[in-house]
Amino acid sequence: MADRPMIRIAIRLLGPLRPGAGDIPSLPLDCGATVADAVSRIEKTRPELGECLTQQLTRESTQVLVNGRHLPPTSAMATVLQDEDVVSFLPPIPGG
C-alpha cells in the first residue's frame, strides 16, 4: 500500500489560546485536508488544547486566518489547506 501524500502546516494560536500552549510549527495532514481536519488532528495529539480550541471555534467571533487572510466564519472550517500554510486562530480578547 502506497503512502498517502502529506502536507505540513503551521498553527498559530493567538490571544487567550496562546499562554501555555504555544504554536505548533509543523502539523502533518493528508493532502486535501481542511481546517476542520487540522483541528481534529490537534484534538488527537494535544487533547486539552484541542478541547479549548473547539470550544473557542463554536463562538462566531473566533477568527480563522490562513496565511494572514481572514476566512468567513461560514466557510472557514471547510477551507482546503496547502503545504506550508499557516493557520491562525484568534478568539475574542476580553476587555475593551
The CATH code for residues 6-90 is 3.10.20.30
Residue 24 backbone phi and psi in degrees, to 5: -115, 100
pLDDT of residue 1: 44
Give the pLDDT confidence of 25-42 residue by residue, as tens digits. Answer: 999 999 999 999 999 999
pLDDT of residue 96: 56
Distance CA(14)–CA(11), nearest Å, equals 10
**Block means of pLDDT (10 residues each) for the chain, length 96 residues?**
82 81 88 96 90 82 93 92 96 73
Sheet holding 86-90, edge to edge: 24-30, 6-13, 86-90, 63-66, 69-70
Instruction: Give residue limits of the domains in the chain.
Output: 6-90
